[in-house]
Structure 1
Amino acid sequence: MSENKLAEAQALNAGAQLWIIKNDPDLYWWKKLDLHSKYLLSQNLRKPKKEHPIEIQNILNATDMTLQQSDYSRNSLLLGTGDHFLNTWLLLWENLSDAQLVNLITLTSQQLKAESLRLFSHTHVSAQLMTRLTASSVTISYIENV
């Protein structure tokens, strides 16, 4: 496992499968990612959440099954961004403590089997991540606040 600080000019280059950024449209990097993705972020975040079709609700009710959701489902959004960036996924988060954020990143990277992460604007959690991911071969890169 290694940790790399990247310069601003390298931020959108290849080298990390999972990019992580706070969901805050006022952040420099959020705006930059939104622009470079042809407004993928702002378009996805403005859409109202869809309700599950009545057919699915009927099936769930008839089979006594419940719909399972992630603990962080309201505080994070995972987007497949391989068509927009030189990565595979983008994880947006909000309203999480540092510990919750580290848990979310750890769980998400393990579930996705991501071998490399890039943190935008939140380097203070990288030390905690390094500690949590010591057993794996995850590479963590980060971009400083601009």
Structure 2
Amino acid sequence: MAQTAPPPGGPSPTHPRTDNRPGGSPWASGGAVFAGVLLFVDGVLAVLNGIAGIAKDNVYARVGDYTYEFSLTAWGWIHLIIGVLLVITGAGILKGAEWARALGVGLAALSIVANFIWLPYQPIWAVIAVAIGVFVIWSLLTDRPRTAH
């Protein structure tokens, strides 16, 4: 019995993939590029956030007794350093560097933890940054880079 070629839209249950390309979600594939953009933009915003915290210690609301309380200047430096690393990693992902994909997962996880601890200072932005980090990790771990044959 001769196999028919998959339809132009890609494989389906009746027309399975017949080539050797790795499978993967189109959302994840496009998401890897978007993850690079998100890391880059999140890094730029973290750098600006850090500069604001370093330059003026009264930019953000003071929090009462808080388990993870640091001075706002210390938080500024934390955001600045993480932001610079995110910018470099996001640029690396956009250039297709393998080291950047692995580092992107680690830095996104670090960013999630830092923004969770930062939550009382800027709750809305911290929740958004955590969601961005989760999407970045998912997309980088589920994307299968295309290999040349």
Q: What TM bracket, shorter-length normalisation?
A: under 0.3
Larger fraction in helix: 2
Q: Which has the larger radius of gyration?
A: 2
Q: TM-score, normalised by structure 1?
A: 0.26
Larger fraction in strand: 1
Q: TM-score, normalised by structure 2?
A: 0.25
Question: Looking at both structures, which has the greater relative contact order when contacts are Cα pairs under 8 Å and sequence separation is at least 6?
Answer: 1
